[in-house]
Amino acid sequence: MSPDIDPESGFRLPLPKREDLDEVGKKYYDRAVKPGGHSIVGLRGPAGIRLYSPKSLAHSQGLNQYLRFEAGFTPAIREIAILATAREMDSQFEWTAHEPEALKEGVAPAVIDIIKHRKSTDGLGETETVVIELGRQIFRDCKVAPDLFARAKALFGPNQLVDLVLLMGTYAGTAALLTAFDMQLPPGQKPLLPVP
């Protein structure tokens, strides 16, 4: 572990103390530590980092809540989109948090393996293929081919396609945050994503 990592927080800053936060920050602190709350990893993750900017957290929480739970994606498709993003961003922390969540939500281990090891999507269903390929093209190729865009629009419609790309974008933003603050896996947690 790098010497600039705080051992309690697992990132480059100490965990904010609840009593040092404003009322907005306290509200999100409480949500992050609540079992079954908004964070699948609690404060030792992006929520702990985001508490350094409670006002941006307040603005982003509503969007994140909508994209994850109210935009009409099945839980499996949501997790495939998150994993595709985490893979292309090489986000070990994000992947390791969401792979078990994906399994819990019914994503087949074979689909996870395809995303994890950047294998061909041949043989997958159309929806899974489109979501994985969309993540690959957005984040790896930095452009989306017209034929893939047409397939995605046909599957999701324009409105939900915008939501899908926004979902992936919010997780890419989280991956950037985790990278900048060098978020470490919890002690004893085995890394689940092969990264360079």
Secondary structure (H, E, C), the chain: CCCCCCCCCCCCCCCCCHHHCCHHHHHHHHHHHCCCCCCCCCCCCHHHHHCCCHHHHHHHHHHHHHHHHHCCCCHHHHHHHHHHHHHHCCCHHHHHHHHHHHHHCCCCHHHHHHHHCCCCCCCCCHHHHHHHHHHHHHHHHCCCCHHHHHHHHHHHHHHHHHHHHHHHHHHHHHHHHHHHCCCCCCCCCCCCCCCC
Residues 112 and 175 in one domain: yes
Which of 6, 41, 69 is a domain's end point? 69
For residue 121, what pLDDT is reported?
99
Residues 85 and 145 in one domain: yes
CATH number assigned to the domain comprising residue 147:
1.20.1290.10
pLDDT tens sequence across 103-131: 999 999 999 999 999 999 999 999 999 99
Q: Tell me what the mean pLDDT of segment 31-58 comes to.
A: 87
First to last CA, the chain: 16
Q: Tell me what the mean pLDDT of segment 59-73 comes to.
A: 95
Residue 138: is its pLDDT beyond 70? yes
Residues 79 and 136 in one domain: yes
Question: 61 vs 166, which has greater pLDDT?
Answer: 166
Residues 101 and 156 in one domain: yes
Does residue 152 belong to any structural domain of this protein?
yes
Does residue 50 belong to any structural domain of this protein?
yes
Residues 110 and 151 in one domain: yes
Residues 141 and 137: their CA atoms lie apart, in Å, by: 5
Percent of the chain with pLDDT over 90: 90
Q: Tell me what the mean pLDDT of segment 24-41 comes to.
A: 83
Q: Tell me what the mean pLDDT of segment 78-95 comes to.
A: 99
- Cα 37 to chain center, whole Å? 16
For residue 37, what pLDDT is reported?
67
Does residue 27 belong to any structural domain of this protein?
yes
Residues 135 and 96 in one domain: yes
Does residue 12 belong to any structural domain of this protein?
no
Residues 64 and 116 in one domain: no
pTM of the full structure: 0.94
Residues 64 and 108 in one domain: no
Averaged confidence pLDDT in the chain: 96
Confidence category of residue 38, pLDDT binned at 50, 70, 90? low
Confidence category of residue 42, pLDDT binned at 50, 70, 90? confident
By the 8 A CB rule, do 1 and 184 touch?
yes
Residues 116 and 165 in one domain: yes
Which domain, by its residues, includes 172?
74-180
Token pair for residue 147? 């034929």
Residues 98 and 159 in one domain: yes
Residue 1: is its pLDDT beyond 90? no
Residues 111 and 176 in one domain: yes
Residues 43 and 78 in one domain: no
Number of domains in the chain: 2
Angle between the N-to-C axes of helices 75-88 and 92-104, in degrees from 0 to 180, rounded to the nearest 10: 160
Residues 148 and 134: their CA atoms lie apart, in Å, by: 7
Residue 2: is its pLDDT beyond 90? no
Residues 34 and 40: their CA atoms lie apart, in Å, by: 10
Does residue 8 belong to any structural domain of this protein?
no
